Amino acid sequence: MARGAFIVLEGLDRSGKSTQVAKLVDRLNQTGHKARLQKFPDRTTAIGKMIDAYLQSQAELDDRAIHLLFSANRWECAEAIKRDLANGMTIVADRYAFSGIAFSAAKGLPFTFCLNPDAGLPLPDLTLYLTVPPEVASTRGAYGVERYENLDMQTRTREQFAAVAREVQARHGEDRWVQVSAVGTIDEVEARIWELVDGALRRVDETRVGEL
Ligand code: DGP
Ligand code: NA
Ligand code: NA
């Protein structure tokens, strides 16, 4: 049996990522694939509840401590991801380690410190990085109330995502990280994403799941 594909969507807050992740899972299931959503952070676990309290500013934590909790939250899901992929289930993740690196590096933590805790996690077959120009993002309504949802943090995170893109492409190949414009209608963005995912689905059957 062919394994499933591991597809990640990344992007800044207000990139439309969560909408597109939901549409992608639906479309995969409607076209004869087995697919499920994996949200990161997964706020339902014990570690996820600590992260949720931090994001809602109900708890204060050292920058390195919260970085490690975000990473631990991915590690506690890693076995299930690998098992499901092996059983033919395609996983669509709403954020992954790349958010972890970009957001923490944006706070000023050293890049290699940000990278290291996630080393060895399952390697996505395809990461789609949804981009919107700042002026378009600002027309999509006010930021929410969570900790990182302000223009200064989002601007610095955008810069760090560019460094993450270079790192992933250098280590794992240019076809694993693709930037997708999230400008346009929901349907237009969905079509761009589907074309890229369709290509990735054709490639994965022959390959093993790699490691970050
Ligand atoms: P979301 O539920 O997708 O809105 O994500 C919550 C916020 O947490 C969002 O601003 C992005 C940020 N975030 C996601 N993953 C990580 C991570 O691993 N580390 C850090 N520092 N922030 C993250
Ligand atoms: Na958010
Ligand atoms: Na979201």
- Delimit the domains of the chain by residue range: 6-203
pLDDT at 82 over 80: yes
Name which residue sits closest to atom 11 of ligand 1, judged by CA.
Answer: 99
Q: Name the residue among 154, 152, 153, 147 with its Cα closest to residue 59.
A: 147
State the average pLDDT over residues 101-108.
98
DSSP 122: B
> Is the model more confident about 195 or about 134?
195
Q: How confident is the model at residue 28 (pLDDT cuts 50, 70, 90)?
A: very high
Is 127's pLDDT higher than 90? yes
Whether the per-residue pLDDT at 207 is higher than 80: the answer is no
- 180-191 b/e with 16+ CB inside 10 Å = b? bebeeeeeebbe
Where do runs of H (alpha helix) occur along the chain? 17-30, 46-55, 63-86, 97-106, 111-115, 134-137, 151-172, 186-204
Query: What's the confidence (pLDDT) of residue 144?
Result: 83
Indicate if ligand 1 lies below 6 Å from the C-beta of 55.
yes
Predicted confidence (pLDDT) at residue 169 exceeds the cutoff of 90: yes
Four-CA torsion 178, 168, 22, 28, nearest 10 degrees: 70
Cβ of 103 less than 6 Å from ligand 1: yes
Is 6-203 a domain of CATH 3.40.1280.10?
no
Residues with C-beta atoms within 5 A of ion ligand 3: 18
Rounded to an integer, the average pLDDT of 135-158 is: 86
Regarding the beta carbon of 42 and ligand 1, being less than 6 Å apart is answered no
Predicted confidence at residue 139, as pLDDT, reads 79
Asked if residues 122 and 78 have their Cβ atoms less than 8 Å apart, the reply is: yes
For ligand 1, the distance from its centroid to the CA atom of residue 100, given in whole angstroms, is 7
Verify whether ligand 1 is closer than 6 Å to residue 96 (CB atom): no
Encode burial over 33-72: b for 16+ CB neighbours within 10 A, e otherwise.
bebbebebbbbeeebbebbbebbeeeeeeeeeebbbbbbb
Alpha-carbon distance of 22 to 37, in angstroms, equals: 7
- What pTM did the predictor assign? 0.96
Ligand 1 atom nearest to CA at 73: 18
Cis, bond preceding 41 (omega within 30 deg of 0): yes
pLDDT at 77 over 80: yes
Contact at 8 Å (CB) between 158 and 37? no
Band (46; pLDDT cuts 50, 70, 90): very high
Task: Decide if pLDDT at 34 tops 80.
Answer: yes
Question: Over the stretch 50-65, which tens digit does the pLDDT of each residue have?
Answer: 999 999 999 999 999 9
Residue 131 has pLDDT above 90, yes or no: yes
Tell me if residue 126 falls in helix, strand or coil: strand
Mean residue pLDDT of the chain comes to 95
| pLDDT greater than 90 at residue 160 | yes
* pLDDT recorded at residue 182: 96
Can you tell me the mean pLDDT for 18-31? 98
Q: What confidence score (pLDDT) does residue 147 get?
A: 93
17 CA distance to ligand 3 middle (Å): 6
For the cut 90, the answer to whether the pLDDT of residue 1 exceeds it is no
Q: How many whole angstroms from 132 Cα to the centroid of ligand 3?
A: 14
For tokens 């996690």, the residue is 121
Q: What percent of the chain has pLDDT over 70?
A: 99
